[in-house]
Amino acid sequence: MLKLPEQLPKQVKIVEVAPRDGLQNEKAVISTQTKIALIDQLADAGVSHIEAASFVSPKWVPQMADSTAVMQGITRFQGTRYSALTPNLQGFEAALAAGVDEVVIFTAASEAFTQKNINCSIAQSVVRFEGVVRAAQAAGLTVRGSISCCLGCPYQGDVPAADVVRVVSSLKDLGCDEIDIADTIGVGTAEQVKRVYAALDNIFPLSKLSGHFHDTYGQALTNIYAALQCGVHIFHSSVAGLGGCPYALGATGNVATEDVLYLMQGLGIETGIDLAKVVKVGDFISQALGRSNQSRVGPALLARNARL
């Protein structure tokens, strides 16, 4: 049984994933300029960690094919770190050349999803990542390991916590600095979240595990609160609630950054991010994509401000 900390943390780290997780699933071509504007506006709002790009196969995810141009076009804000997905050494070399600060290797707690997403087994993915981690460490980059389907899989269904523990242990042995616990299809609920983090206590520091919650079933904020209670204080979110994985059909976006910031503000937890500015970014990108804003807080604040 996990001994819960007495108090919630005083500050949390928010990793903004809209430029990667948010945009990768969009079918219409998004201009490189729009992607650059999104990233720069997020950094200007005080976001200190931005998942900016993805150096995967353009045949698999065409929307991310301009990742090098995106990285080269952004304004580097002091104090902001830019990460990118790198599934193999080929992706790593491109990410390094493009100047990322952190690389993300990604696998899953479910075999079926791993096959669909990166075309190999979990064990093969770990072997493949060895070279990426060694190369990243040699280049002085930090490495994040992301584990999909920790709370459920679109192909397999339930995912035992023991499977999550096994993959976390493998990524720890590889030398990951941080590990993401992802609910790719947003099916998890609060007690399950607590069970998974409890199972990971003593395996990897809770302070270096994140919560990457998609909001498909409307559980993401509740799951974040449950994770906070466990001692987790790194959360991934996406402005305007953009997102989805091409290999997780039916999964909708990540929890909206605006909604997470509002929650943290209410809890008196520091994020270092300007909510009002992020609301404007959410409006900008929703209009640019011709999509309705999936945040609850963003449109509410925009409507309130329009009435004032």
Pick what 252 binds: ligand HMG, Mg ion, none; C-beta below 5 to 8 Å, kind-dependent: none
34 contacts 74 by C-beta, under 8 angstroms: no
Alpha helices in the chain, H assignment, sequence order: 32-44, 67-73, 89-98, 111-118, 122-138, 161-174, 190-200, 220-230, 257-267, 275-289, 297-307
- Say which amino acid occupies 285: I
Which residue, 255 or 261, is less far from Mg ion as judged by CB?
A: 255
Which residues in the 11-70 window bind Mg ion by CB under 5 A?
21
Site for ligand HMG in 70-89 (CB under 6 A): 85, 87-88
Longest dimension (CA), the chain: 57
Query: The tokens of 186 are what?
Result: 């947003």
C-alpha 152 chain-centroid distance: 17
Distance CA 194, CA 286 (A): 33
Catalytic residue at 245?
yes
Residue from 80, 114, 117, 271 in contact with ligand HMG (CB under 6 A): 117
Is residue 31 a contact point for ligand HMG (CB under 6 A)?
no
User: By CB under 6 A, is residue 219 in contact with ligand HMG?
Assistant: no
Q: Which does 118 bind (CB under 5 to 8 A by kind): Mg ion, ligand HMG, none?
A: ligand HMG
Phi-psi region for residue 240, left (φ > 0), alpha (ψ -120 to 50) or beta? left
- Give me the helix-helix angle, 220-230 and 190-200, nearest 10°: 40
- Restricted to residues 259-298, the positions that interact with ligand HMG (CB under 6 A) are none
Which residue's C-beta sits nearest to Mg ion?
21
Site string for ligand HMG, 165-194 (x = CB under 6 A): -----------------x-x----------
- Contact set with Mg ion (CB under 5 A): 21
- Contact set with ligand HMG (CB under 6 A): 21, 24, 54-61, 85, 87-88, 90-91, 106, 117-119, 146, 148, 182, 184, 212, 214, 245-247
